[in-house]
Amino acid sequence: MPVITEPKIISGNANRSLATSIARRMSMHRGMSVGLVDARVERFNDQEIFVEVFENVRGEDMFIVQSTSNPANDNLMELLIITDALRRSSAARITAVIPYFGYARQDRRSKARTPISAKLVANLITEAGIDRVLTLDLHAAQIQGFFDIPVDNLYAAPIFALDIEHNFKNRMDELMIVSPDVGGVARARELAKRINAPLAIVDKRREKAGEVAGMTVIGDVAGKTCIIVDDMCDTAGTLCKAAEVLMEAGATEVHSYITHGVLSGPAVERISKSVMKNLVITDSIEPTAAVKACANIRIVPTAPMFAQAILNTWNGTSVSSLFETDTLVPIYEGLYTRG
């Protein structure tokens, strides 16, 4: 087997712009050109997926960049078929870089006779021949245990902390981190610790699935600039309602920091009309034209962090070091300055 020399990046169609940005960032780190592996991922007329890799990958350390976002099933199948193509081409190791892990919301049986789809997807990924997974802000941390292969779950909180310190540098004392529900308190508390801010919670009550009957703010937000923190925003109904409740409770401004901007259906329209001043999301999911055009949605890059995580995985150094904001400061140099 030849000696593994350089990591190689291949991308599906889910988020090619992020894959290209990761490769560009790796070029900066390595001081040499790193491009995407030449391949085609296409569909036959009946929508079967076909993959052909045009470069020799025998004995190489391969990284597939592919979110399983909308259309989730197509993007998942692309990931599995690319994996099979690489495995049959004798790649030495295959790492799935999944910035957004679809099906993560189905991580337990909430009712009788329902599936645990996150576990099923984990099994599919493992059986396809993937050796390890690199992802970002899993909806539930225990999903890592669904895999029988190593999983590195990166966090957006260090990036958000840098962004907040950069954009609110003269107003840090006014900030209040808010969890939009009780289940997200741990995530919100983690960011609050990083920027030394207090924490509030929006407690929501549901009479039936998908409908919020009422919301109550736990904590004093009067006169505060509130920052709602969550891992995912889908239709944005709950998020916009939480922003209204916070403003009614006396908040001066409401901003939101959400890792995965799913933003389906009426989400963009709701956000554009919301009392929220800004919604900040990452590029883990390819933003639509509507998202890019929305004046109060801002996208922060994850490519610098993913590029460093890929290099750390390739050369056998710590990935958990990227959990610290201080580690990301030089990686994000030129994008953020700390006050």
Q: Which residues are identified as catalytic?
A: 204
18 vs 21: CA distance, rounded Å: 5
Residue 234, marked binder: yes
Looking at residue 334, its amino acid is G
Phi, then psi, of 165 in degrees rounded to 5: -60, -30
Q: Beta strands of 155-287 (E only): which ranges?
A: 175-179, 199-208, 211-218, 225-233, 253-261, 278-282
User: How far apart, in Å, are the Cα atoms of 107 and each of 113, 146, 155, 256?
Assistant: 14, 9, 19, 25
Residue 238, marked binder: yes
Return the CA Rg of the chain: 20
Residue 68, marked binder: no
- Look-up: residue for tokens 């939101």? 256
64 vs 235: CA distance, rounded Å: 28
Residue 206, marked binder: yes
Find the helix or strand (DSSP H, E) in which 88 lies. Answer: helix 72-88
Residue 40, marked binder: no
Residue 47, marked binder: yes
Residue 48, marked binder: yes
- Look-up: residue for tokens 């941390």? 141
The answer for residues whose C-beta is within 8 angstroms of residue 8's C-beta and 6 or more apart is: 37, 55, 57, 60, 61, 62, 63
φ/ψ bin of 226: left (φ > 0), alpha (ψ from -120 to 50), beta (otherwise): beta
C-alpha torsion sign, points 145, 149, 150, 156:
negative
Residue 78, marked binder: no
Residue 181, marked binder: yes
Looking at residue 285, its amino acid is I
Find the helix or strand (DSSP H, E) in which 96 lies. Answer: strand 93-98
Residue 236, marked binder: yes
Tokens of 132: 């390890």
User: How far apart, in Å, are the Cα atoms of 42 and each of 64, 88, 95?
Assistant: 16, 18, 21
In the annotated binding site, the residues are 46-48, 105-106, 139, 181, 206, 230, 234-238
In the annotated binding site for D-ribose 5-phosphate, the residues are 206, 230, 234-238
In the annotated binding site for ATP, the residues are 46-48, 105-106
